Structure 1
Amino acid sequence: MKSGSRSMGTLRALPWIGPALVLIAAIVAFPAAYMIWTSTRRLTPYGEDLGPAGLGNYRRLFGIDALGSVFVHTVVWVIAVVLITLVLSAALAQFLSKNFPGRTAVRMAILVPWAASVVMTTTVFEYMLDPDVGIANKFLVDIGVLHRGFGFTKEAGPAFVTAIGVAVFVSIPFTTYTILAGLQAIPAELNEAGRVDGAGTWQRYRYLTLPQLRPAIAVATIINIINVFNSLPILQVLTGSIAGFSADTTTTLTFKLIQQNQQLDTAASLSVLNFVLIAVIIAIYVKLIRPAGEETR
């Protein structure tokens, strides 16, 4: 009886949720299915379909010697950017939640890296760090930190670290505002009650504020993981000219397979692998942040 009434409820809701389901199928399900199908085809550099390839594209993909290091780079890239962004944004959101002169102007200024083009922002950093004409290098030389300009974006290691810094810079605005919205939704009485009970500042933040921020942090983390995992412009601008795969993630490797090697079919198989990886990562994260005792309905 209960199952029948649930089915009837679903049928009654179908006219309302039907358009959303069609939209999801059109912009998510169909492209994903087409991507998987493409990964099993033999394609010319111009995209001409030469017939089925079976798992040949995947075998060719896993035959790339640098694939293991590329996966390591991807893990380091995602974890470093997301974790640093969350920590800095949480501190910044806490600061912006206080009343101080000029708070509105500071809040508006935080949006600048988010509003500007990622390619433009990254290019500005690239020129600033240029060993010959970069203003940042010149400043470091003038104050005696460096004897001469250093090629921050000319070698794989420094360029990769620089890319992480730029990615954090452009990710902070969205994350800060998401956490700030969560902070403003917390009743002031909760913090006051903790103060009355003798809890210190850190204790109130850890045991009262942080649990209330869990939904906001979860949303910010998931969106940042997706954005960072699939990020191409920052790495392409800062590390794209470096030979080999010493500073590549799976996303930039996909780009190189298409643009440099013209291996559309192998790139399609890597895209499928990327899709599976990000789905697994998000599923694990959602499972871990689910409140204790919550059951799937």
Structure 2
Amino acid sequence: MSSLSNLPPRRLGRAAAPLGWLGPAIALIGFAVLWPVYEMFRISFQHYSPDGFLLGSAGFRNYTKLFQDPNFGPIMLRSLLWVGAVVGLTMLVSLGVAQLFNQRFPGRRVARWALIAPWAASVMMTAIIFRWMLDPNTGALNLLLRDLGLLSKLGTSQADWLGRPDAAFAWMIAVAVFVSVPFSTYTILAGLQTVPAEVYEAAEIDGASPSRTYLAVTLPLLRPAILVATLINVMNVFNSFPIIWEMTRGGPGYETNTSTVYMFNLKQNFIGQSASMSVVNFAVIVAMVLVFLRVSNWKKEVA
């Protein structure tokens, strides 16, 4: 096989032409993806002072300290619960909303526009608004419950929604679902609008009930759209930071930390351990995506 140097100039130009299009993308991937990953792995084996000064090699000590931390296990379990709850609820709600928006009703266009708002707005701004709403003293929710006399029936004058780990975690899940539903809904809605009308006509002729048609016809045809929405949500939710940070800072203590927030908290004093936590997060998200693709038989969808 002849090398590129032996090709005529015209053929060499044609062979190198794709590099003009691929070159910027490859350079961007190298700068924005590969280089940070390399730095992440490198720093995880270094010993840094809290001020950021390199003190030498740490070997595997950062990983050893991280895995021996009593908070590590509960935080990883909470992270998996966070992803499972948010993604599961998001997909269930999005299926219902997409089915609704696929029907004709007065004001459908306005309703579709309104659904974009939680997705288009800043996630950080949304989290701050919910934090204000849940404030135990001046929050709109407490003021409403107080006016309705519901707080007095509970024997309290205020409810510290974000001060209790269980309530705070539930509210963070609700906010994450709130901001995730629009994208998933529109992805599923796009899938619904590609289903041929003839398929439903055939199911009706065969005497299939609406519920049977939905389970046997609609859901299987929506599988590619659901797969895409679920996969993107898994990655986004696992890496989610603004909602948790703005609502609770991961507190009280470490009770509402996920692995991403914990990584940031470690960075304040333990840079090497924070980098080790980054490597663990990277490995977990890759494993989750591979398992999900394996279970969902994505190759069949591509075929």
2:270 matched to 1:263? yes
Equivalent residue, structure 2, for 1:97: 102
Instruction: Report the alpha carbon displacement of residue 130 of structure 1 after superposing the two structures with TM.
Output: 1.5
CA 1:145–1:192: 2 relative to 1, 3 Å: farther
CA contact (8 A) 2:95 2:188 kept: yes
Counterpart of 1:277 (choices 275, 284, 298) is: 284
In structure 1, runs of 5+ residues without a counterpart are 1-10
- In the alignment, residue 266 of structure 2 is paired with which amino acid? L
Separation in 2, partners of 1:175, 1:100: 21
Question: Aligned ranges for residues 161-172 of structure 1 at < 5 Å?
Answer: 161-172=170-181
2:184 maps to 175
Q: Does 1:184 align with 2:193?
A: yes
The 5 Å alignment of 1:139-218 reads 139-147=144-152, 148-218=157-227
> TM-score, structure 1 length as denominator?
0.89
Ranges in structure 2 where 5+ consecutive residues have no aligned partner:
1-14
CA contact (8 A) 2:235 2:285 kept: yes
Structure 1 counterpart SS, 2:150: coil
Assess, with a 3 A threshold, how the Cα gap between structure 1 residues 17 and 131 changes in structure 2: closer, same or farther.
same
Give me the identity figure in percent.
42
**Aligned-pair CA distance for 1:19:** 4.8
**Residue-pair matches, total:** 284
SS of structure 1 residue aligned to 2:50? coil
- Specify whether residues 17 and 66 from structure 1 end up closer, same or farther in structure 2 by C-alpha distance, changes over 3 A only: same
The answer to whether the 8 A contact 1:160-1:239 is kept is: no
Q: Which moved more, 1:79-88 or 1:213-222?
A: 213-222
Residues 163, 252 of structure 2: 8 Å contact kept: no
What's 1:289 paired with?
A: 296
The alpha-carbon distance between structure 1 residues 258 and 111, as it changes in their structure 2 partners (threshold 3 A), is same
Relative to 1, partners in 2 of residues 1:174 and 1:158: Cα closer, same or farther, differing over 3 Å?
same
Give, in whole Å, the separation in 1 of the partners of 2:103 and 2:113.
15
Q: Tell me the amino acid that sits aligned with residue 39 of structure 1.
A: S
The TM-score with structure 2 as length reference comes to 0.88
Task: Give me the whole-angstrom Cα distance separating, in 1, the residues matched to 2:39 and 2:49.
Answer: 17
Question: What's the secondary structure of 1:213's corresponding residue?
Answer: helix
C-alpha offsets along residues 166-221 of structure 1, whole Å, 9 cap, x if unaligned? Answer: 11001111111111111111112111211111111111111111111111111111
CA RMSD after TM alignment: 2.1
